[in-house]
Structures are given as structure tokens and as C-alpha cells.
Amino acid sequence: MHKLTLVLLACILCTSVRAAEPNTNIIFLIGDGMGVAYTGAYRLYQDDLTTPELDATIFDEMLVGMASTYPDDHNQVTDSAAAATALATGVKTYNGAIGVNAQRSPVVSVLDKAKELGYLTGIAVTCQVNHATPAAFVAHADSRQSYEKIADQYMDLKIHGKPKVDVIFGGGQEYFVRKDRNLAKEFEALGYSYNADIKDLSKIKKLPALGLFSKGGLTPALESEHPLRLVEMTEKSLELLSAKSAQKKPFLLMLEASQIDWCGHANDIACAMGEMRDMAETMKLIKRFIDKNPNTIFVATADHSTGGLSVGAKGQYQWNAAVVRNIKATAPTIARQLLASKSNWKSVWQSLTQIKLADDEQKTLDAFITQADENNSELVVGQLTAQVLNYIDKYTSTGWTTKGHTGEYVQVFSYGKGKNNFEGAIDNTDIAKKLFNYLK
Ligand SMILES: [Zn+2]
């Protein structure tokens, strides 16, 4: 054969091979509120105390860099809506904005672009699915508070004549099944399965699927019968999106460990570590998936940090992970159960926290619980919750500086195809910009 013909043939072959290469799957996980102190605390929390060395976590394994999080507001501290818009669209905006820029015009998300290109898409979160972070991938609203409008947009904003998201898992029944509109029924009419109990996840066998497993956000991990509910929802999403029947198409899956932030706002360290465990185990699951499906890029980050968590507080050079591990409920639940148990509160305290209180602390709790005004129950629960948190912080040596967010850099984690793209010091908008580059 002529040399030129050979070269031409080789070229044709190589381009046809390149063209046949499947597009990259994208998995994007956001730990809402998961500042650096959270992954640091979790490293201590999950460590095997019987061995001398500190065990590495999946966060350590996948760490590639840091991202700035400031919004377009000149206040340096972002909320989840502005941060989610940055992460979803690559555009900085004002606090409260969902998928709109500072001029309040809609901006395109990586999920929009993926759907336009024919990808399968999924969202699985532990808050209500119309909450700020997932909303910024799907909806456009001047205010994150427009919960019903955002829920409507899951149905109404169609691409190629269909809803944008093929798998929707999380909470939010009260926004999707309403008096004025039953979006769950509308999804069913379009061929979606609809499930309202997380126990039924295993029954879901095909796309498209809508699963709303609670009225609002899901039960906190620490108190849930499904403490690894993000793991469960992610596993099912990956199964559906990568099924043989769906395999001709690549997918984009957006995930959120939503309630790390809520525990941070509540300044509740045990609550936060429960959510961190769900996040970490989800990352381990994704790693196993990518090891079998290498044509996938995974990136994870936080939208901001919450609560000003510090590992150690008040001049104490210690943090007592073992005490945190023994706490079995969130502080409001502990408070409610103490009040319900009345004079028997000590055994409830012992079983839920295992913290040995000093005599004067026991006297304080005893007086409060036995004299509580039952006609003012929410106020009383709030006051006792604050006191419970005081003791938890004291005995674990945990510190907090705010009930809100803080503006420091957050970590970026990546694994899979081209993970080096996310290395170094970047901005939250860069993550979206880099993900757009994967979409072809
Ligand atoms: Zn928050």
C-alpha cells in the first residue's frame, strides 16, 4: 500500500476511535457548610483509637486544592444560594440568588448544558430538593425563598420537551404535593415513578424516577433509621444512570450532603459528625464506582463553612472525639426527651450522651427540667437545647464563633478522569467552568 494511503487510513481510524470514545460522566458532590474544620474533626472522630497512628480519611485521599467562596455582594461571606449558583453556573451573584446573575437574568447551569447535549441527569440531596443548593442547578429565581416556584420549575423548565432531571431524590413532599398543584402526579403522567418512602428505593428499577422521602429535609443522620441515606440514594442513582439500557448516554449526577450546614447553624457537633459520615461514605462509594467506570470525573467541595467550628476551644489543647461519638441524638431531641422523662432525666441523659456532668451542672439541669413550664414548651425546649449544647461543647472541647456562615477557603476533592484539573487555589466559579469543559 502507498505510504500516503497508510497515513490517511491511520488518520481516519484514529479520528473514528476518538469520535467513538464515550463522553465523561460527571459526579459533583457538595458538602453544604463543610469547612476545613469539619473534615479535620471528622478525621479525629472516625479514627480507630486502639492504634497509635491517626487514620487517613477519604477526604485526605481525594484532596486536590482549595476554593474561594465569596459572592458578588462585597461582603465576603456567601450564602448557599449564591455559592450554589457559582458552583452550578460559573457566575458569581448576590446572596439569595438561584440560577440568576447580579442583574437577575437566568444563567445556564452545567446540568442544563448536559441535558441539552443529551446526557442523563440526576440530583440526590438530604434537604428538600427545591432547597438552595440543588435548586441552582435546575431553577432560576430572584430569591431562594420562592420554594413553590422552584419546585414548579422542576416540571415546567423543560429541555427537549422533557423535565431536566431524570432522577430526583431527596425531601420536599410539602412543596411537590400541594393543594394548588400536585407535581408528583404530573411527573407520574410523564412516566416517572414516584416514591415517598426511602425504604422503597430498592423497588425503583428504571428511569425516570422521583423520590421525595420526607415533608421537608430528611431526618438527621444521627437519628435516622437510614443514617447513610445519601449513600443509599447515590447508589440507586448510579445504578439507574449507568444501567445497560442507559449506557449509550453519559450522565451528570449532582449530590449534596445538605445538613452538615444545618448542624453547623445549630452549633451541634454530634449532629455534624453524623452528616459527615454520610458524606464520607458517599465518597467511598463513588470511588468504588469510578474504579469500575474510569470514564468518570468526580469533584467535591463545600459551598462555605458554617458556625465557625473549631476543633478545640477556650484555651484547652484538646478535642474529645470519643465523647462526640457517644452522643446519640441532636441537641433538640435530647432536650425533648429530658423534659419528657421529668425526674428520671438522669438515665435519659446517660443513655443519649454518656457525659458525666459535675454536681452543680446536674443541679442546674434538675431544677430546669423539674420546674419547666409545660405551657411554654417550645421556649423551654429552646432554652434546654442551648444548655445541652453548652455541656456538649464543654466536654468535647468544641468551639463555635457564629450561628451563620464564614468566608474562608474551602477544600476541593477530586477523583477520576482529569482530577488534576481541579488542583491548586481556585475560585468556586472555576469548578463550574472546568466542568463545562467536560461537556461535549
Ligand atoms: Zn447555611
Please identify which residue in the block is written with the cell numbers 443519649.
352
How far, in Å, is the centroid of ligand 1 from the Cα of 324? Answer: 22
Is 70 within 8 Å of 76 (Cβ atoms)? yes
Q: How far is CA 408 from the centre of its chain?
A: 19
Q: Domain residues of the chain, as ranges?
A: 23-310+402-438, 320-396
How far, in Å, is the centroid of ligand 1 from the Cα of 266? Answer: 10
pLDDT at 19: 46
Q: How far is CA 293 from CA 249, 250, 415, 439, in A?
A: 14, 11, 12, 17
pLDDT at 73: 84
How far, in Å, is the centroid of ligand 1 from the Cα of 265? Answer: 6
Please identify which residue in the block is written with the cell numbers 484532596.
63
How far, in Å, is the centroid of ligand 1 from the Cα of 208? Answer: 30
User: Would you state the CATH architecture of domain 23-310+402-438?
Assistant: 3-Layer(aba) Sandwich (3.40)
User: In terms of C-beta density within 10 A (0-12 exposed, 13-18 middle, 19 or more buried), how is residue 402 classed?
Assistant: middle
How far, in Å, is the centroid of ligand 1 from the Cα of 83? Answer: 10
**Main-chain phi, psi angles of 369, to 5 degrees:** -70, -45
How far, in Å, is the centroid of ligand 1 from the Cα of 268? Answer: 13
How far, in Å, is the centroid of ligand 1 from the Cα of 298? Answer: 23
pLDDT at 224: 97
105 as an active site residue: the answer is no
How far, in Å, is the centroid of ligand 1 from the Cα of 45? Answer: 22
Of the residues 68, 80, 202, 377, which is catalytic?
Answer: 80
How far, in Å, is the centroid of ligand 1 from the Cα of 207? Answer: 32
Task: Give CA–CA dist 54/42, Å, rounded.
Answer: 11
**Main-chain phi, psi angles of 320, to 5 degrees:** -100, 85
Task: Give CA–CA dist 215/197, Å, rounded.
Answer: 11
Is 285 within 8 Å of 232 (Cβ atoms)? no
Task: Give CA–CA dist 12/4, Å, rounded.
Answer: 12
CA end-to-end distance (rounded Å), the chain:
36
Helical (H) or strand (E) element with 104: none
Mean pLDDT (10-residue bins), the chain, 440 residues:
51 46 90 98 93 94 97 92 97 95 97 97 98 97 94 97 98 98 98 98 96 98 98 98 82 98 98 98 98 97 98 96 97 97 95 98 96 88 98 98 97 97 98 96
